[in-house]
Chain A
C-alpha cells in the first residue's frame, strides 16, 4: 500500500480517501475496503467554522465545542461516538460512514455487499430500520446527518453543490450504493441556513457512547419545522410531520422504534415551537 498526501485537488487521481481514518482503517483491516493507494485528504478539505459554512474537515470535537452552530448540530456531535473518536473523526467522514449492520460488518454476502438476501430481515434485526427496509433493512447511524437534514443543509463538493438529502440514495437491485458521491469527488463544505430553534434527541442503549437507536432532529425556520431521523432507514430520513410515523413499515422486532420515534418527535416539537 502507498499513502499519498496531495496538497491540491488537481493532483487527485484515484485511491481511497482517508481523513480521520476512524471508518477507513477498521474497514481496511477487516477486508471490507481494499486499496493499493490511500489518499490522505486532510490538506484538501477546509477545516473550521465560518458563519453558516463548516469545513468538511472540521472534527466532531470542534463542532461539539462551538457556540456558533445550531443547537441540533452541536448536540448531535456531542452525543456521537466517544471523545477520542470525536477528536479524530471529521464531519465529511461522518456523513459518509457505512452501516453498522452486523451482517454487513461481518461480511455476510448480503444485498448491500452485492448478494441476494437481507440476512437481517430474516435474522437478528432489533437495531434495524422501520422505513424503506424492503431491500436492505440497515439503519443509518449518523446523528450528524439527521441534524443537518433537519437544518436543511447544503453540501459543496469538488464538483457540485447539492442538498444533504441528495447525497444519499436507497440501495436497489441495480446499484447497492447508499450515497451519490462519485469516485474522486471530495466533500469540501457544508452550509447551514440560519434556524430560529433546533434540537437533537437521541435514544441509546446506554447513556453515552452509543450509536443512535433512534435520533430525532427538529429545526424551525420561519413558520416551518423540519424533522429528520437517524437510525430508522438505510439513509437519513426526513418526516413531513409526526403523522408520517403512521406509515412506518417495521420488521417483526423493530416496532419498538416507531414508539420511541413518536415520543422523541413529540418532545422535539414541543421544544422548538
Chain B
C-alpha cells in the first residue's frame, strides 16, 4: 500500500493507506485521534474540520495522500483558551459539532484576535450545529480571552 507521511499536532507519522483514504479516516482509525468527528462525510457540516497550516479544511473530503502541510486537530488545541471559553459560555449541547467549531474558531482568533460579530458569523458559517448553540458559540468567541 502507498506510504503516507503526515505531521499531526507536531508529531510525524509514517503509515500505509490506500489512495482515496480521507484524512478524517486516517486521523480517527489509524492515529486514534477521535476528537475529529465525521457526520455528513461529504463536505456539508464542518464536524470534521481540522487545520492544515492554520487554515480550516474539511478532513472528510481531503485525500490523506494529498495533504501538503502540518495538520492540527482538536487534540492539538487542548490548551487553547477557546476550549475554556466554550465551557464558560455553555456553548455545548450534544457536543458533536464542538471540536469542529473550536478548530474553526481557533483559526479565526489567530488571524483576528478581536473579531466582530459579523466576522464571527462569516468565519463560522461552515460549522453546522444541529442543537442550535450558535448564540452561545458567538458569545464564547467574543469573550475567548476573558
Name A residues whose Cβ lies closer than 8 Å to a Cβ of B: 1-3, 18, 21-22, 25-26, 28-30, 38, 40, 42, 61, 78, 81-85, 87-88, 208-209
Contact = CB atoms under 8 A, between A and B. Distances in A.
Contact of B20 (A1, A22, A78): A1
A85 B19 contact: no
Most-contacted residue by chain B among A1, A38, A84 (CB, 10 A): A84
Contacts of B19: 1-3, 38
A61 B42 CA distance: 20
B13 interface: no
Contact of B126 (A21, A26, A40, A82): A82
Contact of A84 (B42, B46, B121): B46
Interface stretch (B28-36, B53-61, B72-80, B84-92): B53-61
A74 to B, nearest CB: 13
B2 A3 contact: yes
Contacts of B20: 1, 28, 38
A169 B46 CA distance: 33
Nearest to B50: A84
Contacts of A208: 121-122, 125
B62 A21 contact: yes
Contacts of B57: 84, 87-88
A87 B22 contact: no
Contacts of A81: 126
B126 A83 contact: yes
B65 A26 contact: no
A88 B2 CA distance: 23
A40 B20 CA distance: 12
Contact-residue size bin, chain B (C-beta under 8 Å from the other chain): 20 to 34
Contacts of A87: 55-57
B18 interface: yes
Contact of B125 (A3, A25, A209): A209
B49 A84 contact: yes
A64 to B, nearest CB: 9
Nearest to A37: B19
A21 B52 CA distance: 15
B109 interface: no
B55 A61 contact: yes
9 contacts: A3-B19, A25-B22, A38-B63, A40-B66, A84-B57, A85-B126, A88-B62, A208-B122, A209-B125
B142 interface: no
